[in-house]
Amino acid sequence: MRLSNPQIRIGSLLLVLYYVIAAWLFHRNGFEHTEALFYAEKLKLLFEYKENTLITLGTTFPTTMFIGAVFFSPFGFLFAPIALTIVMMALLFYNMVVDLSSSSLPVKPLLIAIVLLFVLHPMFLYAAVSGRNVAAIMLFFYLLFRSFFQYYRSQTTYYLSMASIYLTCLIFTEINFIWMLLSFFPFVVLISIEGIKVAKGEQVVFQYYQALNNRSLRRKLANRTIALYLILFLLPLGAVYLYRALNAAHAGDPTYFLTSQYANWRVTGTTSLNTILDNMSGHNVGKQTQIVFQVFTMLLSPIFIVALILFRGRLYQLFTVLTPLIFFSIILVDVKYYFTVEYYIIINVIAIAALTFLGQERGSSSFSSGLIVGGAVLSIFAGVYYFSQSNDPEERQYYNVATSPSKWLQPKVNSEVQMLAEYIGSIASDKRPMLIDDASAYGIIAHLPSLSGLVLPVQKSFVTVIENPMLTVHYMCVAKKNNRLHNFTVLNAYNVGIMKDRIGLTPYRVYETENWIIYSIR
Amino acid sequence: MPVCALNNMIGVGLFTTGKLQEIEQIANDYDYAYIKAALNFGFLTRKEYVAFLDRSGFPLIDIRAEVIDETYVEQCDLQQLNAYLFLPVRSDGRGTLTVAAADPMDEKLRSTLEIKFNTKVKFVAASDLDITWMVHKLRGEFYVKEAVFSLMRKDPESSGLITFTDPQLLVIFAFIAMAFALLTFSFVNIFIFFNLFFSGIFLFAILFKLYIALKGSRYELHETVTKDEIRAVDNNTLPVYTILLPVYKEDKLIRKLIWNLRSLDYPRGKLDVKLLIEEDDDKTLNAVRDLDFPANFETIVVPFHMPKTKPKACNYGLFFCKGKYLTIYDAEDVPDSDQLKKVVCLFRKLPRDYVVLQGALNYFNKNENLLTRMFTLEYSYWFDYMLPGLQSLDVPIPLGGTSNHFKLDKLIELGGWDPFNVTEDADLGVRVFEKRYKVGVVNSTTLEEANNEPFNWIRQRSRWIKGYMQTTLVHMRNPVKLVGKIGWRGFFGFNFFVGFTPITFLLYPVLLSFFLVYLIFDLESVRVLFPDWVLYVSIFNFVAGNTLMIYLNMLAVFKRRYYELILFAMCNPLYWLMHSIAAYKGLWQLIYKPFYWEKTNHGLTKMSHSAAATAANANQA
């Protein structure tokens, strides 16, 4: 079975259509991910504010998601991140199916497995409809490892360079993946020994023994290892250094792009372990320990186990397939927050890459085909299990919406931030401005029809205004004590109390939701 | 059997019949005198031959010191004089014409000349090199003028005789005047504009290079001609191959040159090797004379004429070439032994519109010092990645200085090299493209000697950069016409690859110093010129540009497994500063001495010939 390019394109377009409908359903049932709202709000600032464009566009960690979403902004700021993730998922699907032609395994079961995963696997669906960076991580992760596997086949430097570029994109999608550089070490060293062609056909240990005990070979081995490392890592590390330099020059802090809640959603978006342990719901967090986590992620991805069963290749290729597990070992050294779906889903992605490039039939053809399709089906169930046990409130919300089909076509449910935005839109104007801090209220701002009538931190006057808001603004949007983002904003319940004492602020509550209060202060 | 000196040498046991038969074949094929074939195709040493003549009663006369009656010389064509190695000296007034000949025992030549001059001929023996020197000096004027002016006559638009045309000068001065006027009007804003504009160009040019290199890296292991194809070649079907060796004061390299030529896997009789030496270069001529083993090249003496450039010498050499294909090597070059066969195979495989094939160049003395390492990195990415990348994009390929293999008839059709252009090869690459022919890349390498001395390096590089400027000016005289000839893709490819190269080198120190002055001194007056967003863009361009250039250099090590050089790529910013020095020197010379050929000294390496040969073998393996 061989699919033509137009057929694959049509398949990808159908997938886009499917995801758009799914995204619409999730949206009308009140599921909006805060990361997507964060990008939407930044897009709004970028296009609707003339002040400090550079802060918004440049110093804000230039994630592939944010930059990519800029191109989709004509579809609406709120939809742009989701449109981007849908397109990225379709691109991933396209690439995976195109690559099937180079597989030694039968194409049909692989194609069925991929289609099943993209259509039914809850993690894949979540990646497409959430507007989060998961889709970008999947795409670049796949392209990165595909480049490695293609390099193993052709030994052409082009693929190493492409791997380096994709690695840079991956790191600029999620900075935590910078630690993956360390997990490359085992296979890079093994490729090096392969490349110097010592004791060909012998065991790797013997090859090492020979290489390390000969001065010339030792030097060659070291040089090749360094060369491979440099060619892989120079671009990503150079890019990170570049943004540190830009941030140092522009924001006065080299890590601004990582640590500022105005620049990076991660700062406010991740749920700390303490918070999870305090409000325990879900069980996945308990598996975030060494060894257990790796086993757990593998169990949640039976297709990865199938890929290992059908794997046939050299030791360095095996280590390449196991890279995500080594990567987990590294990031688990200092766990600070709950690992969400992106860390689980990459196992599925590398499984497909490994099946495509390194898989070979075992036993009969139907046995291998059955394994592949069975692995994909089991992975879908495992995905459902993951969401049912997730400790992330937004993932739980996604699960609740997905598992309540009876509610899908009921009247649209407005989210809390949507309701707040509607209210603010009705009262704030240039004559009666509102003080609002997008460090935590980005979701509200993303939903506002326009930015007129708002005083935001991106404006130079913000610092003056917040000293004595009564002089300038009429309203304040304040995070309540129980708000998850209470500590990330200056406009919180605690500071309102201080303002009352210090400047005699007399706030009148005009609108209140579970997490927010809007005060009239004049 | 011909009656000649060689025949007589057989008689006294100094030569063999077998060799003479081979020589006879070559002499007939090339229409040469027997002695010329024997001395130039590696059958006989000059010293042996001179000793034999002496013993046979033909001591050599110093023909260069003799009084020559040019009326007889003028009756002879240079091609004939050069091929049969004779020179009419003067008549004794009693019906005998004295003729200096390399082979005074050649009876066939004697009878030919007696019929031609209708007088009795008396031969005196003279060195073949001296005769060559004399005949080219006396009869080479027409040819050398053709070599200099033929392109200008046939295709004046492509000639670099005029460096700046009037419209170009107008544009340049108008641009400078406008820049000054605008700076006077609003210094800060215009300064910011120029700063961003040029740093943008700088980054874009580097990104473009990276893109091409990545494209090229896809073909890293692609073998356009395989070893099996080479093995399958039947030597009898190979055409005559001309090798031009333009040299100037390279006396120390002549021995090495012969060894390198000997290692070429090509039938001896089909290698038409021309050593092109300048009229005033007695050093090289004497080095050839003093060889104590047979030479495998023919010496051509290029008569004095300005400009004294390599392309002029090559154009002159073209008049004497016999091959179907032609290539150029420098004296110190060590080509892969199968390079010529590979080229023949590839030309046979490629469509007819491919008229030039460029071989890769690299260095045998790469580990000599930092400069040679940097040079090796640069050449590796250039020839191993950039050229295949350019070929895949179908944009003009600036040819390298040597190891470019031409179809001779097409080269002549193109008008040869531009003698006024100091990177005549790059210019020719563009002209090939303009005439809708194509340049290919052959998977064979020639090892050269990397320049290991900074001042010598700057001299060489300033000529190259000046040549790129010249080439840009020549082909951009009429941009609209150029687009018509090479299309938009070719136009942008040419400008970013050839035109922007000197510009980036010229801009680099300017942008760097502005930036460093700001960063280090943080002067109030400078700060005004770097508002936040300008600083942002400047830092981005500076860091990204340098990182990408380092990356590009790092890529270079993979194909040839020069892994030990990878860390030296970090020194690229310093290497670029050296380029900048050379670029400013080149710019200065472009204005004041546009045709001046900044000579590169070769033979400075301390690497022995055997080490170079080892490097060549390793490279070929």
Per-residue pLDDT tens for A134-191?
Answer: 999 999 999 999 999 999 888 888 899 999 999 999 999 998 899 998 888 888 888 8
Nearest CA in chain B to A196: B561
- Report residue B394 as tokens: 């179908």
B36 contacts B128 by C-beta, under 8 angstroms: yes
What pLDDT was estimated at residue A466?
Answer: 87
Domains of chain B by start residue, with CATH:
5-139 (3.30.300.160), 159-224+334-621 (no CATH)
Closest to A342 in 3D by CA, of A100, A42, A88: A88
Q: Which residue has the tokens 């016409």?
A: B481
My answer on whether A422 and A323 are in the same domain is no
Where residue B111 falls among pLDDT bands split at 50, 70, 90?
A: confident
pLDDT (mean) for B545-552: 89
pLDDT (mean) for B291-303: 85
Evaluate whether residue A422 is within a structural domain.
yes
Say what the pTM is: 0.87
Q: State the Cα–Cα distance between residues A93 and A373, nearest whole angstrom.
A: 17
Hey, of A50, A156, A158, A232, which one would you mutate to test binding to chain B, going by the most B CBs within 10 A of its CB?
A: A158
Q: State the Cα–Cα distance between residues A304 and A164, nearest whole angstrom.
A: 24
* pLDDT tens sequence across A414-435: 888 999 999 999 999 988 999 9
Q: State the Cα–Cα distance between residues A94 and B499, nearest whole angstrom.
A: 39
Whether residue A244 lies within 8 A of chain B, CB to CB, comes out as: no
Q: State the Cα–Cα distance between residues B31 and B36, nearest whole angstrom.
A: 10
My answer on whether A305 and A425 are in the same domain is no
What pLDDT was estimated at residue A94?
Answer: 96
Where residue B523 falls among pLDDT bands split at 50, 70, 90?
A: low
In the 8-state DSSP scheme, what is residue A457? T
My answer on whether A478 and A393 are in the same domain is no
What pLDDT was estimated at residue A61?
Answer: 59
In the 8-state DSSP scheme, what is residue B593? -
Q: State the Cα–Cα distance between residues A384 and A389, nearest whole angstrom.
A: 9
Closest to B172 in 3D by CA, of B476, B581, B500: B476
**Cα separation values, B117 from B32, B72, B74, B113, Å:** 20, 8, 12, 6
Where residue B617 falls among pLDDT bands split at 50, 70, 90?
A: low
Which stretch, A192-196, A286-290, B417-421, has highest mean pLDDT?
Answer: B417-421
The residues near B461 (Cβ < 8 Å, ≥ 6 apart) are B578, B579, B582, B586
B558/A157 Cβ within 8 A: yes
Percent of chain A at pLDDT exceeding 70: 97
Hey, of B536, B542, B562, B570, which one would you mutate to test binding to chain A, going by the most A CBs within 10 A of its CB?
A: B536
Q: What's chain B's average pLDDT?
A: 86
B296 contacts B261 by C-beta, under 8 angstroms: yes
pLDDT (mean) for B429-437: 89
Strand A475-479 relative to strand A516-520, pairing: antiparallel
My answer on whether A278 and A207 are in the same domain is yes
Q: What's chain A's average pLDDT?
A: 89
The yes-or-no verdict on residue B587 having pLDDT over 90 is: yes
A238/B536 Cβ within 8 A: no
My answer on whether A131 and A183 are in the same domain is yes
- Report residue A173 as tokens: 């999608």
Closest to B423 in 3D by CA, of B449, B442, B404: B404
Evaluate whether residue A165 is within a structural domain.
yes
Last residue of a domain, one of A339, A367, A402: A402
Percent of chain B at pLDDT exceeding 90: 19
Q: State the Cα–Cα distance between residues B80 and B65, nearest whole angstrom.
A: 22
The residue that leads in pLDDT, A327 or B333, is: A327
Interface subset of A 155-194, CB within 8 angstroms of B: 155-158, 160-162
- In this structure, what are the phi and psi dihedrals at residue A492, rounded to the nearest 5 degrees? -125, 175
Which residues in chain B touch residue A246, judged by CB atoms under 8 angstroms apart?
A: 536, 539-540
pLDDT (mean) for B573-585: 93
B218/A158 Cβ within 8 A: yes
The yes-or-no verdict on residue B484 having pLDDT over 80 is: yes
How many structural domains does chain A have? 2
The residues near A423 (Cβ < 8 Å, ≥ 6 apart) are A511, A518
Largest CA distance in chain B: 95
B214 contacts B389 by C-beta, under 8 angstroms: yes
What pLDDT was estimated at residue A280?
Answer: 65
What pLDDT was estimated at residue B415?
Answer: 87
A171 contacts A240 by C-beta, under 8 angstroms: yes
In this complex, the residue of B221, B535, B555 whose CB is nearest that of residue A155 is B221
Computed from CA positions of residues A365, A370, A373, A375, in that sequence, does the dihedral angle turn out positive or negative? negative
pLDDT (mean) for A270-276: 76
Where residue A214 falls among pLDDT bands split at 50, 70, 90?
A: confident
B217/A231 Cβ within 8 A: no
What pLDDT was estimated at residue B54?
Answer: 84
Supply the range of the domain harboring residue A508: 416-520
My answer on whether A422 and A398 are in the same domain is no
What pLDDT was estimated at residue B261?
Answer: 83
Lowest-confidence pick of A25-29, A423-427, B247-251: B247-251
- Report residue A131 as tokens: 């507007």
The yes-or-no verdict on residue B621 having pLDDT over 60 is: no
Evaluate whether residue A410 is within a structural domain.
no
pLDDT (mean) for B459-463: 91
Q: State the Cα–Cα distance between residues A430 and B456, nearest whole angstrom.
A: 70
A157/B220 Cβ within 8 A: yes
* pLDDT tens sequence across A309-356: 999 888 889 999 999 999 999 999 887 788 899 999 999 999 999 999
Q: State the Cα–Cα distance between residues B242 and B545, nearest whole angstrom.
A: 43
Lowest-confidence pick of A51-65, A205-219, B6-20, B540-554: A51-65
Hey, of A52, A157, A231, which one would you mutate to test binding to chain B, going by the most B CBs within 10 A of its CB?
A: A157
Dihedral of CA atoms A328, A334, A340, A344 in degrees, nearest 10, equals: 10
The torsion region of residue B276 among left (phi > 0), alpha (psi -120 to 50) and beta comes to beta
A103 contacts A355 by C-beta, under 8 angstroms: yes
Where residue B618 falls among pLDDT bands split at 50, 70, 90?
A: low
Where residue B620 falls among pLDDT bands split at 50, 70, 90?
A: low
My answer on whether A357 and A316 are in the same domain is yes
My answer on whether A482 and A514 are in the same domain is yes
* pLDDT tens sequence across A482-514: 888 888 888 989 989 999 888 888 889 999 999
What pLDDT was estimated at residue B357?
Answer: 92
The yes-or-no verdict on residue B512 having pLDDT over 80 is: yes
The residue that leads in pLDDT, A218 or A199, is: A218
The DSSP-derived string for B436-476 is T-EEEEEEEEEEEPPP-SHHHHHHHHHHHHHHHHHHHHHHT
In a 3-state reduction of DSSP, which class is residue A454?
Answer: strand
My answer on whether A444 and A338 are in the same domain is no
Q: State the Cα–Cα distance between residues A415 and A477, nearest whole angstrom.
A: 17
In this complex, the residue of B535, B540, B551 whose CB is nearest that of residue A234 is B551
- Report residue A239 as tokens: 């890019």
* pLDDT tens sequence across B27-85: 888 888 888 888 888 888 888 888 888 888 888 888 888 888 888 888 888 888 888 88
- In this structure, what are the phi and psi dihedrals at residue B239, rounded to the nearest 5 degrees? -85, 170
My answer on whether A184 and A330 are in the same domain is yes
Strand B86-91 relative to strand A454-455, pairing: unpaired
**What is the ipTM score, two decimals?**
0.84
Strand B404-407 relative to strand B354-363, pairing: antiparallel
Lowest-confidence pick of A49-53, B18-22, B531-535: A49-53
My answer on whether A374 and A466 are in the same domain is no
Which residues in chain B touch residue A250, judged by CB atoms under 8 angstroms apart?
A: 532, 535-536
Q: State the Cα–Cα distance between residues A144 and A121, nearest whole angstrom.
A: 22
**Per CB distance under 8 Å, which residues of B are interface residues toward A?**
214, 217-218, 220-221, 532-533, 535-536, 539-540, 543-544, 547, 550-551, 554-555, 557-559, 561, 563-564, 566-567
The yes-or-no verdict on residue A289 having pLDDT over 90 is: no
What pLDDT was estimated at residue B241?
Answer: 94
* pLDDT tens sequence across B368-408: 889 999 999 998 988 888 888 888 888 888 888 888 999 99
Q: State the Cα–Cα distance between residues B15 and B49, nearest whole angstrom.
A: 10
My answer on whether A392 and A475 are in the same domain is no
Closest CA–CA distance from residue B532 to any residue of chain A (Å): 7
- In this structure, what are the phi and psi dihedrals at residue A294, rounded to the nearest 5 degrees? -60, -45
Q: State the Cα–Cα distance between residues A217 and A197, nearest whole angstrom.
A: 10
Q: State the Cα–Cα distance between residues A170 and A186, nearest whole angstrom.
A: 20
Q: State the Cα–Cα distance between residues B56 and A454, nearest whole angstrom.
A: 111
The yes-or-no verdict on residue A256 having pLDDT over 90 is: no
- In this structure, what are the phi and psi dihedrals at residue B397, rounded to the nearest 5 degrees? -105, 115
Evaluate whether residue A408 is within a structural domain.
no
Buried-state track A47-74, b at ≥16 Cβ within 10 A, e below 16: eebeebebbbbbbbbbbbbbebbbebbe
Evaluate whether residue A409 is within a structural domain.
no
The yes-or-no verdict on residue A302 having pLDDT over 90 is: yes
